Structure 1
Amino acid sequence: MVKSPEDFERRPNPIGWVQPKAPYNPYDPTDVRPPEGYPSEFDAPSSVKRNTGKVAQDLTDYQKIKIDMKRLKYYPRPPSELYPGRYKVLRNINHKSSFVRGAELTAKLSIYGFIAFGVFFYKWNDNENVFAPFRRLQLKVKEFVLGELSSDDYNDLYNYKKDKLIPQRPLPTIMYEQNENRNLVGEDATNNEFIKDRFGNKHVVYAEHVAQREEESMLKAMEIAERELELNKMKEQLLKSEQKPSWKFW
């Protein structure tokens, strides 16, 4: 039996049927469809994140509200009062005062200025360190601009010692005593290439004491020598005064 075109027509909608809105709005009380929507209204896979089908009960549940607003393609823009069918343009207002902007600008300029000064223009020490290449670059630019350099700058640029080591600071006494207990200082056999035999603060104090004692002894010796010279001069003057000339008989 051959079917007629009438057999392929869609059956009529039931009484009271209302054409659904698409997509489903769970916050619209007039939309009486199920939360998940009808099967024909399912979104394509991975197009938009699907919600769990439950209406957000709390206004702080931003994740559900955000997904629903994306599905509705709703943008919170107020309608324009002057131009019907259009929306107001929301402007970004800078709430920062001029003082705050000036303070931020001053802080940034100060920080960047100190960094640039410390890296390029300040001579940290006389040894090879991490800022030495920047120092030599600054001296090369200075030589190119001015045409000449002072003797110190010229030596820093060309006559510097590449193998010069940075002087070590003394260890605190507690750390030095701990190294002594661990047998890390003393003989050459215990000092391998991974262990540095660094001196302690007590050695610095003792060395300063020895130097001061030697300086005091040298000063005392100089004072004694000066006194002896003065005594010799006084003796010579007394001898000259006691000697009488030969032509004087009285």
Structure 2
Amino acid sequence: MDDFERRPNPPGWVPPKAPYNPYDPSDLRPAKGYPSEFSAPGKLKENSGTLAQDVGDFSKLRIDMKRLEYFPRPASELYPGRYKVLRRVNYTNKFERGARLTGISLMVGFTVLGVFFFRWNDYDHVLAPFRRMQLRAKEWIMGELNDQDYRDLYYYDQARTIPQKPLPSIVYEKNQENDLVHVQDGNEFVKDRFGVKHVVQAEKVRQNREETLMRALDTAQSELEKRQEAAEKKKWWKWS
């Protein structure tokens, strides 16, 4: 049957409203409900794609309370038509409040001590400007500084960097495979790093130099002792 040949709507028929409004008396709900209103539990909804679920007891109670405009507040005895203002009850006891304040004060204290007052090392690191700020304030208040603080404030070596740790052998070999070592273009933070094998080789060279120096020192000392013994024998023969 074509759309233009179907029978007309019965008299008094109005197009259904979707979604269905149960509080509108003019909206006559069909016996089985509108298709857009109800989805069987466990099936996907067409509009949202989520699983349809039955309305729980709390949802029904919330809907009914909203309909009745009921609010769980006691009515005021002094002011008709108004509600009592509920007092906020603090359930935290003194121990919990004290523990929380102690923890906050300790964290803030250690942070301020580590940032402004503690001297970490002899290098110019990220916390050094904050300590110099503290030293300037100390010099302005007290008028003088000790030798160590004065050197840290005015005669610090800005070009002195923190020594780097050697790269593991597997990382250094991987950098060599990727052409990141001993090249002009590349990662400047990687190509300047040395490996563990370089440290071992440098320690071996230093040990050889120290052994050679100690052998030369022992040889010179033994020759000096021989000369002293020869001189003493000469003097003894001369005296005799």
Bucket of the pairwise TM-score, normalised by the shorter protein: 0.5 to 0.7
Query: 2:180·2:186 contact (CA, 8 Å) conserved in 1?
Result: no
CA distance in 1: counterparts of 2:101 and 2:207, whole angstroms: 53
Counterpart for residue 104 of structure 2: 108
AA partner of residue 226 (structure 2): L
1:125-169 CA-to-partner distances (Å, cap 9, x unmatched) read 333332222121111111112211223322322233444444333
**1:243 Cα deviation from its structure 2 partner:** 3.0
Gaps of 5+ in 2: 1-20, 27-36, 38-53
Counterpart for residue 133 of structure 1: 129
1:229 to 205, 210, 224: 224
Calculate percent identity across the aligned residue pairs.
45
1:58 to 56, 59, 71: 56
Alpha carbons of structure 1 residues 212 and 65: separation in structure 2 relative to 1, 3 Å: farther
CA distance in 2: counterparts of 1:208 and 1:102, whole angstroms: 56
Q: CA RMSD in A?
A: 3.4
Larger Rg: 1
1:49-84 CA-to-partner distances (Å, cap 9, x unmatched) read xxx9xxx952343xx75566456553323468x979
Q: How does 1:15-164 map to 2 (within 5 A)?
A: 35-36=22-23, 57-61=55-59, 69=65, 72-78=68-74, 90-164=86-160
Gaps of 5+ in 1: 1-33, 40-51, 246-250
AA partner of residue 221 (structure 2): E
Worse-matched range after superposition: 139-148 or 120-129: 120-129
- Aligned pair 1:192/2:185, yes or no? yes
CA distance in 2: counterparts of 1:68 and 1:160, whole angstroms: 75
Worse-matched range after superposition: 233-242 or 157-166: 157-166
**1:88 Cα deviation from its structure 2 partner:** 6.1
Query: 2:180·2:187 contact (CA, 8 Å) conserved in 1?
Result: no
AA partner of residue 210 (structure 1): V
1:163-217 CA-to-partner distances (Å, cap 9, x unmatched) read 444433322211111011111112xxx2226434211122122212222332233
TM-score with structure 1 length normalisation?
A: 0.61
Counterpart for residue 197 of structure 2: 202
**1:219 Cα deviation from its structure 2 partner:** 2.6
Alpha carbons of structure 1 residues 146 and 37: separation in structure 2 relative to 1, 3 Å: same
Query: 2:169·2:195 contact (CA, 8 Å) conserved in 1?
Result: yes
- Aligned pair 1:219/2:205, yes or no? no
CA distance in 2: counterparts of 1:125 and 1:70, whole angstroms: 66
AA partner of residue 185 (structure 2): N
Alpha carbons of structure 1 residues 116 and 68: separation in structure 2 relative to 1, 3 Å: farther
Worse-matched range after superposition: 89-98 or 165-174: 89-98
TM-score with structure 2 length normalisation?
A: 0.63
CA distance in 2: counterparts of 1:172 and 1:201, whole angstroms: 6
Report the secondary structure of 1:183's partner residue.
coil
Counterpart for residue 11 of structure 1: none
Alpha carbons of structure 1 residues 67 and 202: separation in structure 2 relative to 1, 3 Å: farther
Q: How many residues align?
A: 191
Report the secondary structure of 1:184's partner residue.
coil
